[in-house]
Amino acid sequence: MARKHVSFSTNFSFTLTQGFYMQHLSRRLFAPLVLATSCLTPSLSFAADPLPVTASFSILGDLVRVVGGDRVNVTTLVGPNEDAHAFEPKPSDAKTLLQSKLLVINGLEFEPWAKKLAASAGYKGESLVASKGVKPLAMEEEAHDSHAAKGHHHDEVDPHAWQNPENVILYVRNIAAALAKADPASAPTYQANAGAYVKELQTFDTWAKAEFAAIPADKRKVITSHDAFGYFAAKYQIKFLAPQGVSTDAEPSAKEVAELIRQIQREKIKAVFVENMSNPKLLTQLSKDAGATVGASLYADALSSADKPGATYLKMMHHNVTQLVAGMKLN
């Protein structure tokens, strides 16, 4: 009996010890799993509910997507290859805006319809003027006079500030600050994305300067379909001539076209470009009469579709520089 009692006690003791060990081991293994799961849950929840943002036109939409990454859901009112100057909001645009937490516009009177849309829709969310802090350029006098005479006013300010990558650095930082205000939990992500993109913009700027520096100053002359490259021209010391004013819906007079033809012939300009959302008929005829050659489309106010070379802001700018340099070499 004693031996059985000892054997029973030993086995029972071992069972208790084994049970305690397994329970302790289970807790040690399970606790990190619970902790990891609890850490993942907020991210999964956040990823399923990105911040809804509305951008006025395609170029701004791209910049917001770059800064916001997967933390934002961006809707663009004026899409690729579409003209923001001639845009007329639809009832569905008001509905889209009311579902957004942030509205991003260019400002500088580029899209006056955006403020009207927000007011008529009763939008109560946050708004950002992306060009805040940009030093605006005045429109050239003759372009402004022609443009205003047709009933289109920009208060003598050129709104196309994104054509200078230094200005886009301000855009990007403004966007990051606005997203962080609307979504404080993701502020570090927005700031990191903005910082990385600023470096890309600076790299592009350095490359573009080198490309144009290789072209003699007296050869840096081109013809475009409308006057949207003022900031680009000032940045890279290029002379742009255009038969239209700042707005693409302003038709030039026969006298203006004739004067431009004489200037093209006088200055021996061969580089002629149309824009992706412009009717090429005018410049095609103009270049024929002036003996110039129409080059590839440039991107000024709108991105291209995804399968074309201007699908993002940086792709658009790389394409424009490459085409402009090739065209100026013909001068």
Task: Write the DSSP assignment of 245-296 as a string of letters.
Answer: -SSTT-PPPHHHHHHHHHHHHHHT--EE--BTTS-THHHHHHHHHHT-EE-S
Count CA within 13 A, CB hemisphere, residue 179: 34
pLDDT at 152: 42
Strands 137-138 and 157-158: antiparallel
Which stretches of the chain drop beneath a pLDDT of 50? 1-46, 48, 142-154, 245-248, 277
Structural tokens at position 205: 């700027």
Q: What is the model's pLDDT at position 194? A: 98
pLDDT at 143: 45
Q: Which pLDDT belongs to residue 155?
A: 54
- The single-letter code of the amino acid at 17 is T
pLDDT computed for residue 176 by the predictor: 98
DSSP letters, 22-85, are: HHHHHHHHHHHHHHHHHHHHHHHHHHTSPEEEEEEEHHHHHHHHHHHGGGEEEEEEE-TT--GG
Query: What confidence score (pLDDT) does residue 291 get?
Result: 76
**pLDDT value of position 272:** 80
List, for residues 65-81, the tens digit of each pLDDT value.
999 999 999 999 999 99
